[in-house]
Structure 1
Amino acid sequence: MLLGVAARSIEHGLNQGSPLEPDPRDYPDALQAERATFVTLEIHGALRGCIGMLEAIRPLVLDVAHNAFAAAFRDPRFPPLTRAELPRIEIHISVLTPPQTMRFSSEADLLGQIRPGIDGLILEDRGRRGTFLPSVWEQLPDPREFLEHLRYKAGLPGGYWSDTLAVSRYTTESFGTSIDEAFGEGLRTV
């Protein structure tokens, strides 16, 4: 159902220039709950956009609709999605658990607590913040390399460490499909 909402929100963006605004009351209770999500778009396995929220601030169905639109049209790394690209899009949705603050005494202690393939991490310090979803473990399977790249993403120098560094972890429930299948899901279930 969420994949259908994401697909329709992208199509709505192409036609109207704004995200779909589904009424959460039209959906099951589980999709009305406030949850944080990321929506990732790919074309032939290559990233085409990824936008999300780390904190739950709106119903799940609205978060997906807004993040799908933003991934297609507002990711600053890419130009807005074109109608010609739409048939090739794959949509991936990650629903996040609430972040849990990690307690550690050193970089080695932190690295020993990280669960490769399971944890998404949020790294914060000096007014900077970055996150990697658990799916990033596929490209960066080594915890030390994962952490190093996350530092760069947060705008911190390589090897950076301080006593004020904060790290939180979360897990995700992730699923994805082609745009055609997502439209089919949305039409069957909504």
Structure 2
Amino acid sequence: MPSDPLGSSLLTLARNAIGKRFGVAECAVAAHPSLQDLGATFVTLTQDGQLRGCIGSLEAHRTLADDVAENAVAAAFRDPRFPLLTSDELDRTRVEVSLLEPAQPFVFADEDDALARLRPGRDGLILTHGLRRATFLPQVWETLPNARQFLAQLKLKAGLPADFWDKKITLSRYGVQKWKET
């Protein structure tokens, strides 16, 4: 567990929320004043370093404690990319919580300008085109360190062709604080 009290509380809340579905006894969560503030989080589950689920909120609309608990359950049991997490998997599943900063509009002239202004490793990115929307957390830069690949994969995630570009695409960027179980 991290030494940061907020991170420790968020990770415990996330694991408790998942474990509750399997009847696992809850661990005590250290009180932290920020837990009652509005907050937007993503909960990422991994097994042996591989993604096992990731669900989150792009905008704060409930308390931080409720948001992380709901997103943990969603990552474990409602991520459409993966089967439901089983009780046998729980012990080998690692939890990561990302607390999102509010997204800011990302102003750019065209795709090349956007690519040149992206900050690898720092920027979480939200791409919107019409009714299509997708996001990548800043951690995705670890597996897609090239800005062009990062944006191409984000377009695919939004259901668009990797080489698609339209002047109606909007981008927003955000940073995160993150904590991960070891």
Instruction: Please name the residue that 2:16 is paired with.
Output: 8
Count of residue pairs brought into register by the alignment: 170
Question: What is the CA–CA distance in structure 2 between the aligned matches of 1:66 and 1:27, rounded to whole Å?
Answer: 18
Instruction: Please name the residue that 2:134 is paired with.
Output: 130
Offset at residue 167 of structure 1 (A): 0.1
The TM-score, its normalising length taken from structure 1, stands at 0.86
Q: Which one-letter code corresponds to 2:61 in the other structure?
A: I
Q: Which moved more, 1:26-35 or 1:150-159?
A: 26-35
Offset at residue 27 of structure 1 (A): 3.8
Query: 1:1-190 alignment to 2 at 5 Å?
Result: 1-15=9-23, 27-178=31-182
- List alignment gaps of at least 5 residues for structure 2: 1-8
Secondary structure at the aligned position of 2:108 is classed as coil
Question: What is the CA–CA distance in structure 2 between the aligned matches of 1:30 and 1:126, rounded to whole Å?
Answer: 35
- List alignment gaps of at least 5 residues for structure 1: 21-25, 179-190
The TM-score, its normalising length taken from structure 2, stands at 0.89
- CA RMSD, 1 decimal: 1.5
Question: What is the CA–CA distance in structure 1 between the aligned matches of 2:95 and 2:171, rounded to whole Å?
Answer: 28
Question: What is the CA–CA distance in structure 2 between the aligned matches of 1:143 and 1:79, rounded to whole Å?
Answer: 30
Q: Render the CA deviation track for 1:14-48: whole Å, top value 9, x for unaligned.
A: 239xxx9xxxxx94321111111000011111111
Offset at residue 159 of structure 1 (A): 1.3
Question: What is the CA–CA distance in structure 2 between the aligned matches of 1:82 and 1:127, rounded to whole Å?
Answer: 33
Secondary structure at the aligned position of 2:87 is classed as coil
Q: How many percent of aligned residue pairs carry the same amino acid? A: 49
